[in-house]
A = this chain, B = another copy of it.
Amino acid sequence: MLKKFRHTEGLLARYARLVCDTVVPYQERAIRDEIEGVVPSYAIENFKNAAILNKTGVKPAGGDHKGCVFQDSDVAKWIEAAAYSLSVKPDAELEKRLDEVCELIGEAQEADGYLDTHFTLNRPKEKFTELVGGHELYCSGHMIEAAVALYEITGKKKLLDTVCKNADMLYRVFVTEGREGYPGHPEIELALLRLWRVTNEDRYMELAKHFIDIRGIDTDFFNKEYRRLGINIIYDNHYSQCHAPVRQQSDAVGHAVRAAYLYTAMADLAAITDDKELEDACFRLFESIEKRRMYITGGIGSSYHGEAFTADYDLPSDTAYTETCASIALIFFASKLLKLRREGRIADVMERALYNTVLAGIELDGKKFFYVNPLEVLPGISGNIPTHRHALPQRPGWYGCACCPPNTARLIGSVANYAWDEQDGILYSNLFASGELTLSNVTLEVETDYPFGDTVKYKVKKGSTKLAIHIPAFTLKNYSVSAHGELKSGYYYLEVNEGDEVTVKVEMIPRLYRSNTRVASNSGKAAVMVGPVVYCAEEKDNGDVLGFSFRSSAELKLNKETPEQIGGFYSEASDLGAVYTVTAEGQQTVMDNASDLYFTDEYRKEEKTLKLIPYFMWGNRGLNQMRVWMPVEL
């Protein structure tokens, strides 16, 4: 259900504006190959060539599909992000260009509803023969999501018609005709459930359920595909979460984005069909992430190998993979879990992923992006040596595999859908986000500087509602709500009426966090958080940070500073306004002989005050050390 939401001030509003003003236009230029000096995308070009082929029966010269097999999805994700940006800020020119792109996509669709420019242009005889890696169903899923978002926000039906025709064809092939198999990369399942919601066509839900139900039943399916294709490898089913039927899965495994997209659809389907077995599986998988396989930043997927989950408590900082898309997918998953069980800890995970890994995925200027989000950067090592090659210390302008930038744009553009939620007559505030929400029964305005302020005001401008406000776990021991209500599982339930003003106060103080001792890489270390925001130390503010240790008893001081006051940031960063920085007392190891590799007493400790900035601001001032987890006195 779409919320009518108007961003006002604050951090999320700033990012929503950045998405409208910079990210969406920048990414449009990227998919149109108009940005100099970055990897070309060919994404729009592929659609143009497929349209010509459809129209003329002849592939234009040089008209082979270029880029990743899933390049179409970049266009879809851009459309979806652009749709959300229209909900944030109307833009008639953008709407016109969107109409043209939707027209083009319709022209690139084959007569039977098939839609995938890679196969249309390059491998027309091989459709659905390589579900393991062909990504046709993945691209269909993203196009469905784009169409649904565009329809919900603008009422435009052109793309919705295209994707319905595509989904109808998929239903015919995989259900009616009984073609074997399920997608290597889950995505279509969650998309079909979105499509079912706007169209009320049950076959879309049925197709989603079909793909979910058969997943991992025939564990030899992808190997059979490979054998048919003459490829001699043994597929690791864990990579695609098809090592076991989904209802039997317990540990989050494999490619983290695939996993969380699948779990999102599973949770949504469990709610739709009231499937307790599926619900229990979803919560086992969520706990495996929340309790054993998630970074403090809400990053998931510890390893470059397979962009994947690894093992319980394997959460290295410097070689972390923690793909931006994976944290976005974790937010999707959390939002569906909340429909099943309204537990604050689920919203806590959503908030953790959003304010840290997702926001860190974008340069403050909105033009550069991280795919990988390490928690420690070591110049000369990070992005450089084979074990750390993926952990780039600075954001590039675009990627050959550009899944993350448009994914970030669509998440931030639609952040109101995660901040707010309605269920069984109750309006849920999952995240604190300033802005005005208009629903049929109520209009609410929220004013807050959160996460760089401790006060959140809910003003009821019109109507009345049952309201449940998520009180984040970090403040559960110390918070206040100015109206009477009841706390249950991390949500504060109350009734509000026109004219009411409810003030929530949370405890925004810097805290030292420790890790479970089983996280070997964090032994003897601590990290600072203020509310949901993880902090890091950069060399730019501190000189060498590798020799620093927190004093556990030391004061951690909160400061409110603008990027200009912190120093060294782009001028574009100025619209962040003031953020919290933290100063922490501690000690710096000074070696008597800086060239010694190992030594006993030949060092001393000097008092040092470390300056920490929000993790999402890291890497905006050139190459330098960055650290989240640092040694701490016992």
Interface residues of A, Cβ cutoff 8 Å to B: 290-292, 294, 296, 303-306, 310-314, 316, 318-319, 376, 378, 380-381, 384-387, 511-521, 523-525, 527, 544, 546-547, 549, 551, 587, 589, 591, 594-600, 603, 605, 630-634
Closest B residue to A379 by CB, please name it.
B311
Among A306, A521, A605, residue most surrounded by chain B Cβ atoms (within 10 Å): A521
Cβ of A597 and Cβ of B524 under 8 Å apart?
Answer: no
* Contacts known (A305-B386, A524-B632); A514 close to B547, Cβ less than 8 A: no
Cβ of B524 and Cβ of A314 under 8 Å apart?
Answer: no
* Contacts known (A305-B386, A386-B305, A524-B549); A515 close to B598, Cβ less than 8 A: yes
* Contacts known (A598-B296, A633-B633, A634-B587); A387 close to B310, Cβ less than 8 A: yes
The listed residue (B514, B591, B594, B632) touching A599 by CB distance below 8 A is B514
Closest B residue to A474 by CB, please name it.
B600
The listed residue (B514, B524, B587) touching A525 by CB distance below 8 A is B524
Q: Determine how close the nearest CB of chain B comes to the CB of A509; give it in whole angstroms.
A: 10
Cβ of B513 and Cβ of A599 under 8 Å apart?
Answer: yes
Q: How far is the CA of A591 from the CA of B523 in the complex (A)?
A: 13
The listed residue (B290, B385, B596) touching A303 by CB distance below 8 A is B385
Cβ of A378 and Cβ of B515 under 8 Å apart?
Answer: no
Cβ of A380 and Cβ of B603 under 8 Å apart?
Answer: no
Cβ of A294 and Cβ of B597 under 8 Å apart?
Answer: yes
What are 26 A-B residue pairs whose CB atoms fall within 8 Å in the complex? A291-B595, A294-B597, A296-B598, A303-B385, A303-B386, A310-B381, A310-B385, A311-B381, A314-B378, A318-B521, A376-B520, A378-B520, A516-B596, A516-B597, A517-B546, A517-B547, A517-B589, A523-B547, A523-B549, A523-B630, A524-B524, A524-B525, A524-B631, A525-B631, A527-B598, A587-B634
Cβ of A513 and Cβ of B598 under 8 Å apart?
Answer: yes
Q: Determine how close the nearest CB of chain B comes to the CB of A476; give it in whole angstroms.
A: 12
Residues of chain B with a CB closer than 8 A to A594's CB: 516
Among A304, A312, A380, A384, residue most surrounded by chain B Cβ atoms (within 10 Å): A380
Q: Determine how close the nearest CB of chain B comes to the CB of A587; give it in whole angstroms.
A: 6
* Contacts known (A605-B634, A631-B631, A634-B605); A387 close to B517, Cβ less than 8 A: no
Cβ of B549 and Cβ of A634 under 8 Å apart?
Answer: yes
Cβ of A514 and Cβ of B385 under 8 Å apart?
Answer: no
New A-B pairs, 11, CB < 8 Å, besides A319-B387, A551-B634: A290-B597, A303-B386, A310-B385, A314-B381, A318-B521, A515-B597, A516-B599, A520-B546, A524-B525, A524-B630, A631-B631
Q: How far is the CA of A50 from the CA of B355 in the complex (A)?
A: 67
Residues of chain B with a CB closer than 8 A to A631's CB: 523-525, 631, 634
Q: How far is the CA of A633 from the CA of B633 in the complex (A)?
A: 6
Residues of chain B with a CB closer than 8 A to A296's CB: 598
Closest B residue to A389 by CB, please name it.
B305
Cβ of A306 and Cβ of B600 under 8 Å apart?
Answer: no
Q: Determine how close the nearest CB of chain B comes to the CB of A623; give it in whole angstroms.
A: 14
Q: Determine how close the nearest CB of chain B comes to the CB of A447; give it in whole angstroms.
A: 28
Closest B residue to A352 by CB, please name it.
B598
Residues of chain B with a CB closer than 8 A to A376's CB: 520
Residues of chain B with a CB closer than 8 A to A598's CB: 296, 513-516, 527
Cβ of A292 and Cβ of B513 under 8 Å apart?
Answer: no
Closest B residue to A304 by CB, please name it.
B387
Residues of chain B with a CB closer than 8 A to A314's CB: 378, 381, 385
Cβ of B597 and Cβ of A517 under 8 Å apart?
Answer: no
Cβ of B597 and Cβ of A386 under 8 Å apart?
Answer: no
Closest B residue to A518 by CB, please name it.
B546
Cβ of A603 and Cβ of B514 under 8 Å apart?
Answer: yes
Residues of chain B with a CB closer than 8 A to A312's CB: 380
Residues of chain B with a CB closer than 8 A to A596's CB: 291, 516
Q: How far is the CA of A291 from the CA of B595 in the complex (A)?
A: 6
